[in-house]
């Protein structure tokens, strides 16, 4: 019995019951792949159900506003995924008559879709022989074959893609791709892999050499940048909020936030520079005090310390929103949590 058959037999018994595995419709498969990028299934599943319920067809997603899509995505992170998802739905609806493309070469041309996602959709929805390479596949194959290439390098992707393509069965490649990723997610995990019950135990080089923890190999981690965000919560005796929409191309693009002062350090009390900046926003006297404790928002490439400051005055700039209006806006998750906490 080949190891591929062993893997498929294991998958038949152990696979998780996930809704997008019960269809060949490319739309929910595409939706699930975008939502689950860099996201645990447990976290992403409620978002998947929400999107499928509100936008059951591509045209429904295309007809939504970007603000509505971002609001529904709120809390999931990596918001460029939501913007690309929406833009692609509009493109398919307008330029492709609402029909999802059915070839790898066409799928990969869509905005927000790379080799992995295109391979997953092509193989699962259309049965095309395209191997997937994601974090799970890197880990399984690096251990299975004992591959010493650092997985976070360009040469590694090319090599692993070739390895994966060679191993891919011609029959039902979509199920095999899902089985391989499921093995990585449930069995061949980054820490404490369940080797003793792995269906590929006796073919695995890492296990044979007692070197499971050695693979996969990575180059030095990217240096984490620290940033310090100080949000100004202007209070004028009502429930209205003074907000701005982020326009920079970095994190949280087009999401809404309180007026922001970014500094290079923590502030336990306002200094003269901080007070001067606040003073530039108003012609009236003001009082300022911290709200609660600071909190950290950790991303893969940067850690952001976030502080909120109550400012009792009316600012001269920034858009003002009523309670009904700001409840419909998409916010970065730290601000969404703050709003929820302060309403309680």
pLDDT at 2: 94
Q: Which helix (H) or strand (E) holds 243?
A: strand 241-245
Q: Residue 185: which of 73, 19, 301, 42 has the closest Cα?
A: 42
Query: pLDDT digit of tens for each residue in the chain (344 aa)?
Result: 799 999 999 999 999 999 999 999 999 999 999 999 988 999 999 999 999 999 999 999 999 999 999 999 999 988 999 999 999 999 999 999 999 999 999 999 999 999 999 999 999 999 999 999 999 999 999 999 999 999 988 899 999 999 999 999 999 999 999 999 999 999 999 999 999 999 999 999 999 999 999 999 988 777 889 999 999 999 877 778 899 999 887 889 999 999 999 999 999 889 999 999 998 888 888 999 999 889 999 988 899 999 999 999 888 778 889 889 999 999 999 999 999 888 74
Q: Which residues pair with 226 in a beta bridge?
A: 303
pLDDT at position 146, please?
A: 96
Q: Which residues of 124-136 are buried (b: 16+ CB within 10 A; e: fewer)?
A: bbbebbbbbbbeb
Name the catalytic one among 12, 33, 68, 305. Answer: 33
What is the pTM assigned to this prediction?
0.88
| pLDDT value for 335 | 94
What are the structural domains of the chain? 3-214 (1.10.340.30), 225-343 (3.90.79.10)
Res 57: pLDDT: 97
Pick from 200, 243, 227, 179: nearest CA to 14: 179
> Residue 316's pLDDT is what?
76
Q: What is the pLDDT of residue 318?
A: 86
pLDDT recorded at residue 239: 74
Rounded Cα distance, 65 and 232, in Å:
28
Distance CA 329, CA 321 (A): 10
First to last CA, the chain: 60
Distance, CA of 127 to CA of 104 (rounded, Å): 11
What's the pLDDT at 323?
86
Torsion sign over Cα 276, 277, 278, 282: positive
**Is 33 assigned a catalytic role?**
yes
């Amino acid at each position: 019995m080949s190891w591929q058959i062993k893997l498929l037999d294991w998958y038949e018994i152990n696979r998780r019951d996930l809704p997008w595995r019960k269809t060949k419709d490319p739309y929910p498969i595409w939706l699930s792949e975008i939502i689950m990028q860099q996201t645990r299934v447990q976290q992403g599943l409620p978002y998947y159900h929400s999107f499928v319920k509100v936008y059951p067809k591509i045209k429904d997603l295309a007809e939504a506003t970007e603000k509505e899509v971002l609001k529904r995505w709120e809390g999931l992170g990596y918001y460029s995924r939501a913007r690309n998802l929406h833009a692609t739905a509009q493109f398919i609806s307008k330029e492709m008559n609402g029909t999802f493309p059915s070839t790898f070469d066409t799928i990969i041309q869509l905005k927000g879709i790379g080799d992995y996602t295109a391979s997953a959709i092509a193989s699962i929805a259309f049965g095309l022989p395209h191997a997937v390479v994601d974090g799970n596949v890197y880990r399984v194959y690096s251990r299975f074959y004992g591959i010493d290439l650092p997985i976070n390098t360009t040469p590694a992707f090319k090599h692993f893609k070739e390895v994966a393509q060679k191993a891919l069965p011609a029959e039902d490649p979509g199920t095999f791709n899902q089985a391989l990723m499921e093995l990585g997610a449930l069995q061949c995990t980054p820490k404490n892999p369940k080797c003793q019950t792995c269906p590929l135990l006796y073919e695995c080089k890492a296990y044979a050499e007692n070197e499971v923890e050695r693979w996969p190999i990575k180059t030095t981690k990217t240096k984490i940048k620290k940033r310090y965000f100080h949000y100004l919560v202007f209070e004028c005796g009502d429930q209205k909020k003074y907000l701005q929409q982020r326009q920079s191309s970095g994190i949280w693009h087009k999401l809404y936030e309180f007026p922001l002062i970014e500094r290079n350090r923590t502030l336990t009390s306002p200094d003269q520079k901080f007070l001067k900046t606040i003073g530039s926003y108003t012609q009236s006297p003001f009082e300022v005090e911290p709200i609660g404790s600071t909190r950290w928002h950790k991303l893969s490439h940067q850690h952001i310390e976030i502080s909120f400051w109550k400012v009792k005055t009316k600012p001269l700039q920034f858009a003002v929103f009523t309670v009904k209006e700001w409840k419909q806006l998409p916010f970065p998750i730290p601000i969404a949590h703050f709003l929820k906490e302060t309403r309680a």
